[in-house]
Amino acid sequence: MDNAHKPSVLKQELRNKVLVLGIDNPPVNALSADLRRELLGVIQEADTNDKIEAVLMVGCGRYFIAGADVREFGKPPLPPFLPDVCTRIEACNKLVVAAIHGAALGGGLEIALAAHYRLIAADAKVGFPEVELGLLPGAGGTQRAPRLIGAKASLDLMLSGRPLDARDAHELGLVDRIVYGEDMLAEGLAYLKELLAAHAPVRRSRDAGGLADHTKSRAAIEAARSETTKVSRGLFSPLKIIEAVQAALELPFNEGLSLERNLFLQCIDSPQRAGLIHAFFAQREVFKAPETRSTKARSINTVGVVGGGTMGAGIAVAMLDAGFPVTMIERDEESLARGRTHVEKVYDSLVAKGRITQEARADVLTRWTGSTSYHALAHADLVVEAVFEEMTVKQAVFAELDRACKPGAILATNTSYLDVSAIAASCSRAPDVLGLHFFSPANIMKLLEIVVPAGVAADVVATAFALAKKLQKVPVRAGVCDGFIGNRIFAVYRAAAEHIMEDGASPYQIDRAARHFGFPMGPFQVADLAGGDIGWAARKRRANTRDPKARYVQIADRICERGWFGQKTGRGFYRYPEGVRTGVQDPEIEAIIDAERLRAGIKPNSFTDQEIVRRLMAAMINEGANVVHQGIALRPLDVDITFLFGYGFPRYRGGPMKYADTVGLSSVLADIREFAQQDTLFWQPSPLLVKLTNNGADFASLNQSA
């Protein structure tokens, strides 16, 4: 669009010699190139215009300014640059005041810090979330904030990414005044009137003395550096933040600013920035399933949960935490009491940690009721089934629900693998049935796979997405297949890990390589945590349908035959002696593996950690491509979000499909073809991967809104 015809993103109005700038760039007033250009122009004009005595910046809409326009990162930078806009605001000889409501984040806070005075609405927040995007505050934030509030508080703010509420921001000295009125324009004008009446000077953050105590500031910087080196697990930007704050202490302001700019550009160029920003947008895109646009959600006020085991109890807690009354159904009184105890334990531990009071615990539990009769679900708007993973048991439960529930109630199954369409077909109201696949622990894990069978009504799917928002979960729409998106892909990743193990690497090396890549746990640690018996039961169930030509590694079966099911039995791929939190390597496991290699006639090879990762990732990406190709996932980004929120995939890599784009699809395909020379059946390249590679395209090209 021609600039001349673009609507302005900065509203201007002169009120008694105060130039009011209304920042109006919906949805969140991000600092786009247009906004930067208009701000710069207006401030320059204000400086020389005699009719203007002061400038007041207020935000239109819900926020003051949410920060830089994240969509611009990774594209050629467009002038004017934000640090220059901030420098110009600070240099202005007329008083500039920022009136913050909603939130001033990242570059938004930097604009406010460049102003000469700041007031904040009592319910507003300020913060530097850049670290979560692989960045650092790059418009003077690392230089101005420490001068205002000291090195320690600034580092806490920038390294955590967590926002401060108005009171804390005021106590620290980041803002000058808290206001309680609704009308920020009126509040801002009143404040400016006071400032002008008192002949308040132009006061620049660059001149503030928060770093005067060098010894204290240096100690804070060193403490942050040693802590960050320990905990940042390969993240690039945290150490750069510390470097920039150190520059604030050691260099003149302008030199500090240029160093900050330099470090910011390094972060912008880092693949971590690309991965984290992909995750930021993908996390929002997953909510936009087609059904959420075409229909309205049903209203959910009361919830039933069938089964009070690990998952049923966790789901009940998730629902209670979101404010729903919950009715739990169990097979008998004893199991029901156990279910209640599981729920109570969660709140007891919160009380013990001081996170909630006894009264709050008691209050939440008044919303829990239990029964062994399905009649208790007569008024439920939604029922989530979480009984044993057996088709016949689930179908029997759904037949009961069919009889007991009111018309229009949504019936959901938490099955991990079973055919949701077959479960739906077992009752007379298939349009009301879908899968809600929570992850363990269900009250903590953010991922919710919304499994959509062919016959379900669109408004039921839309309701599931609305529910996810209420539960503060991240929903991913999945089609029906064995394991849906997550468990299906994970099974192939795990199989690749087993092949590598049988071919010569120890489970300990494989886990270490996966951790080094950024997973919190390797595949065998995950197996020990989930319980070896669960996978074993699934393998036995599939034994008759497995392709006899497919490679089958029996090592896990040998371990399970000994009753070693992982953490819960004190032994699995690792040993878990009493008092030791993580597993220790077990020579007996290595002996079992040796014996299995011998039985299978395999001469062990050695693998580098890099080769291990190459295989694990190729397996995950290839199956991810299959899942997209078959329409089980709407887009590659849905696979990414599934792995970021359900399986600990390192966020800074953006998810498996984003990672594939980063290394290049042709390189992934070449890997798969190389591995296929050993095992053509396992390493069949996904048709989608082949097609994209042939077209020179990437997964990102398929990520537009569904």
Decide if 613 contacts 656 (C-beta within 8 A): no
Using CB under 6 A as the binding rule, whether residue 704 contacts ligand 3HC is answered as no
Per-residue contact string for residues 115-154; x = within reach of ligand 3HC by CB under 6 A: --------------xx--x-x-xxx-x-------------
Q: Which stretch binds ligand 3HC (CB under 6 A): 100-108, 245-253, 373-381, 680-688?
A: 100-108
Question: Which H or E run includes 451?
Answer: strand 447-451
Q: What is the DSSP track for 600-650?
A: HT-PPPP--HHHHHHHHHHHHHHHHHHHHHTTSBSSHHHHHHHHHHHS---
Name, in order, each residue with C-beta under 8 angstroms of 267's C-beta and a sequence gap of 6 or more: 134, 135, 136, 138, 236, 237, 240, 273
Integer angstrom CA distances of residue 33 from 3, 127, 174, 340, 705: 11, 22, 26, 56, 24
- Out of 284, 379, 542, 599, point to the residue binding ligand 3HC (CB under 6 A): 284
- Residue 330 binding target from ligand 3HC, ligand NAI, none, CB below 5 to 8 Å by type: ligand NAI
Decide if 197 contacts 122 (C-beta within 8 A): no
Using CB under 6 A as the binding rule, whether residue 566 contacts ligand NAI is answered as no
Q: Which stretch binds ligand 3HC (CB under 6 A): 26-34, 367-375, 635-643, 656-664?
A: 26-34
User: Rounded to the nearest whole angstrom, what is the least distance from the CB of residue 98 to ligand 3HC in the complex?
Assistant: 15
Which DSSP letter does residue 504 get?
T
Using CB under 6 A as the binding rule, whether residue 330 contacts ligand NAI is answered as yes
Look at residues 220, 213, 207 and name the one whose alpha carbon lies nearest to residue 151: 220
Using CB under 6 A as the binding rule, whether residue 66 contacts ligand 3HC is answered as yes
Q: Per-residue b/e over 634-663, b at no fewer than 16 CB within 10 Å?
A: bbbbbbbbbbbbbbebbbbbbbbbbbbbeb
Question: What is the spatial distance between Cα 11 and Cα 26, in angstroms, rounded to a whole number?
Answer: 13
Residues 391-450 that bind ligand 3HC (CB under 6 A): none
Residue among 13, 38, 90, 130 flagged as catalytic: 130
Using CB under 6 A as the binding rule, whether residue 68 contacts ligand 3HC is answered as yes
Q: Which stretch binds ligand NAI (CB under 6 A): 122-130, 386-394, 658-666, 678-686?
A: 386-394
Using CB under 6 A as the binding rule, whether residue 389 contacts ligand NAI is answered as yes
Tokens of 477: 């729409």
Which DSSP letter does residue 72 get?
G
- Residue 107 binding target from ligand NAI, ligand 3HC, none, CB below 5 to 8 Å by type: ligand 3HC
Using CB under 6 A as the binding rule, whether residue 329 contacts ligand NAI is answered as yes
Per-residue contact string for residues 75-94; x = within reach of ligand 3HC by CB under 6 A: -------x------------
User: Rounded to the nearest whole angstrom, what is the least distance from the CB of residue 424 to ligand NAI in the complex?
Assistant: 15
Question: What is the spatial distance between Cα 354 and Cα 349, in angstroms, rounded to a whole number?
Answer: 9
Assess whether 400 carries a catalytic annotation.
no
Using CB under 6 A as the binding rule, whether residue 162 contacts ligand 3HC is answered as no
Question: What is the spatial distance between Cα 174 and Cα 119, in angstroms, rounded to a whole number?
Answer: 10
Residues 206-245 that bind ligand 3HC (CB under 6 A): none
Tokens of 671: 């890997």
Residues 268-307 that bind ligand NAI (CB under 6 A): 306-307
Query: Which residue, 568 or 629, is less far from ligand NAI as judged by CB?
Result: 568
User: Rounded to the nearest whole angstrom, what is the least distance from the CB of residue 386 to ligand NAI in the complex?
Assistant: 4
Strands 10-15 and 18-23: antiparallel
Using CB under 6 A as the binding rule, whether residue 54 contacts ligand 3HC is answered as no
- Residue 706 binding target from ligand NAI, ligand 3HC, none, CB below 5 to 8 Å by type: none
- Out of 152, 177, 203, 331, point to the residue binding ligand NAI (CB under 6 A): 331
Using CB under 6 A as the binding rule, whether residue 311 contacts ligand NAI is answered as yes
Assess whether 130 carries a catalytic annotation.
yes
Decide if 267 contacts 237 (C-beta within 8 A): yes
18 φ, ψ (degrees, to nearest 5): -105, 120
Q: Is 563 helix (H, G, I), strand (E, B) or coil?
A: coil
Using CB under 6 A as the binding rule, whether residue 387 contacts ligand NAI is answered as yes
Using CB under 6 A as the binding rule, whether residue 388 contacts ligand NAI is answered as yes
Name, in order, each residue with C-beta under 8 angstroms of 103's C-beta and a sequence gap of 6 or more: 63, 64, 66, 124, 125, 126, 127, 163
- Residue 308 binding target from ligand 3HC, ligand NAI, none, CB below 5 to 8 Å by type: ligand NAI
Name, in order, each residue with C-beta under 8 angstroms of 691's C-beta and a sequence gap of 6 or more: none
Residue nearest to ligand NAI (CB): 309
Using CB under 6 A as the binding rule, whether residue 193 contacts ligand 3HC is answered as no
Residue count at the site for ligand NAI (CB under 6 A)? 23
Q: What is the dihedral of CA 314, 318, 323, 325, to 10 degrees?
A: -30
CA terminus-to-terminus distance, the chain: 26
Using CB under 6 A as the binding rule, whether residue 152 contacts ligand NAI is answered as no
User: Rounded to the nearest whole angstrom, what is the least distance from the CB of residue 71 to ligand 3HC in the complex?
Assistant: 5
Using CB under 6 A as the binding rule, whether residue 414 contacts ligand NAI is answered as yes
Strands 125-127 and 103-105: parallel
Decide if 625 contacts 427 (C-beta within 8 A): no
Question: What is the spatial distance between Cα 667 and Cα 455, in angstroms, rounded to a whole number?
Answer: 40
Q: Which stretch binds ligand NAI (CB under 6 A): 410-418, 423-431, 500-508, 536-544?
A: 410-418
**Residue 623, number of CB atoms within 10 A of its CB:** 23
**C-alpha Rg value of the chain to the nearest Å:** 29
Decide if 32 contacts 25 (C-beta within 8 A): yes
Using CB under 6 A as the binding rule, whether residue 304 contacts ligand 3HC is answered as no
Using CB under 6 A as the binding rule, whether residue 189 contacts ligand 3HC is answered as no
Query: Which residue, 418 or 618, is less far from ligand NAI as judged by CB?
Result: 418
Tokens of 442: 């269900």
Using CB under 6 A as the binding rule, whether residue 59 contacts ligand 3HC is answered as no
- Positive or negative CA dihedral for 689, 694, 700, 704? negative
Using CB under 6 A as the binding rule, whether residue 106 contacts ligand 3HC is answered as yes
Residue among 13, 45, 53, 110 flagged as catalytic: 110
Residues of this chain that bind ligand NAI (CB under 6 A): 306-312, 329-331, 335, 386-389, 393, 397, 414-416, 438-440
Residues of this chain that bind ligand 3HC (CB under 6 A): 27-28, 30, 63, 66-71, 82, 103, 105-107, 110, 129-130, 133, 135, 137-139, 141, 281, 284
Q: Which residues are catalytic?
A: 110, 130
